[in-house]
Amino acid sequence: MLLISIWGFPQIGINTTTPQRTLHVNGSLQVTNEINVGGDAATAGNSGTAGQVLKSNGPDQPPSWQAPIDVPDTAGTLIAVNGSFFVAQEIVVQMSNNFTVTGGTASVIGNLDAEAIDNESKYSGTATTNSFQVSVDGTYQVIMNMQLSTVKGSGPVIGIWDNTENKWTARVNDTYTAVDGTLQSYTLITGIPMVAGRVYSFRASSNGNCTINKGGTGTVPMSYVSVKRMK
């Protein structure tokens, strides 16, 4: 009788009299062995491997097994690159103290050593120098915000220096118009290509000596830098 019922009705319903598919289960389903997807009258189909999950391939197509999305556990911003997820390399560092730049040279900024985040341990900063590298070639967002004090009418410059090529990679400059001894904000916000294996540094220069104030007093913005991979 069971065989006659199956062949007599192309759709089978369990707990339903109106099955919508070849097998329609209105209720829970317990599977105590493998699940095979795909296949045909001659093959059992694919049972997948341990840890894989089922992916829908749309109407009239069998689902397929695939590895689950691997979510990294590193702190930072999750980005998608070429169909894969990565935690973006990110560096955020604040000034721990004021630093004076000697006029006429592109000087490495010292005291840039209060790290807020360096999720790939690629940054190094001391009282006299700083440097960093990127892990992979890509486009990186760069932000520098510095509180400068120098001689009125001079033209301070801040930016990122490519130590390998010995030249500026990105920079911003402006005429210092504040009263001598007071602070003026210099801000660089840009997105630039950066190359893995090269050494970069945050630098500043001016016609004359220039002091970078660490800021953060409540009335003066904090002097800080950040680098984050965008793609």
Please, what is the average pLDDT of the chain?
89
> pTM of the prediction?
0.73
Comparing C-alpha atoms, which of 160, 207, 216, 205 is closest to residue 183?
216
**H or E segment to which residue 5 belongs:** helix 2-8
List Cβ neighbours of 7 (8 Å cut-off, separation of 6 or more).
none
Give mean pLDDT, residues 85-114. Answer: 93
Q: Report yes or no: 61 and 70 within 8 Å, Cβ to Cβ.
A: no
pLDDT score for 191: 97
Report the Cα 179 to chain-centroid distance in Å: 40
Give mean pLDDT, residues 42-67. Answer: 90
Looking at the predicted structure, is the pLDDT value of residue 151 above 90? no
Q: Where are the domains of the chain?
A: 89-229
Q: Report yes or no: 221 and 71 within 8 Å, Cβ to Cβ.
A: no
Tell me the pLDDT band of 113, cut-offs 50, 70 and 90: very high
- Second-level CATH architecture of 89-229: Sandwich (2.60)
